[in-house]
Amino acid sequence: MLAEYLPTLLFLLVAIGIGVALIVIGNLIGPKKPSAEKLAPYECGFLPFEDARLKFDVRYYLLAILFIVFDLEIAFVFPWALVFRELGPFGLVEMGIFLLLLVLGFAYVWKKGALEWE
């Protein structure tokens, strides 16, 4: 019974070995030219030495929410595509209405200028 796990164990050992080898080789032969900018902490595009209570623009959060809304529709489209033949015309009409509402929402957001960034 333990022999059934041998291929999985071998796969894990090879994967770990490749990962470690790539890190070691990169450290050995990679370029090493540290500078003040490369060693400085990076904080989301803002200078790291400003006030910690810097206010974020609300449009950043709106854009993130819009991304989530329009990205989650894939969670509905993939399962629908898998059972498309079983649903028949009803499923096609149902997904058509869903996508139409999604496109209308996208057009509304676009018209309001929520996707514009200055």
Per-domain residue ranges for the chain?
55-118
Is residue 24 pLDDT above 90, yes or no?
yes
67 vs 44, which has greater pLDDT? 67
For residue 81, what pLDDT is reported?
A: 87
The CA dihedral of 79, 80, 84, 88, to the nearest 10 degrees, is 140
DSSP string for residues in 86-99: HHHHHHHHHHHHHH
**Average pLDDT of every residue of the chain:** 84
The arithmetic mean of pLDDT across residues 96-108, rounded, is 90
Q: Decide which of 1.20.58.1610, 3.40.50.720, 1.10.3720.10, 1.10.1060.10 is the CATH code for 55-118.
A: 1.20.58.1610
DSSP string for residues in 53-81: TPPPPHHHHHHHHHHHHHHHTHHHHHHHH
For the whole model, what pTM was predicted?
A: 0.47
Binned at pLDDT 50, 70 and 90, residue 15 comes out as very high
Question: CB neighbours of 105 closer than 8 A, spacing ≥ 6?
Answer: 69
Asked if 87 and 80 touch (Cβ cutoff 8 Å), the reply is: yes
Q: What is the pLDDT of residues 28-57, one digit of tens each?
A: 998 888 888 777 776 666 665 666 666 777
Highest-scoring range by mean pLDDT, 22-26, 45-49, 70-74: 22-26
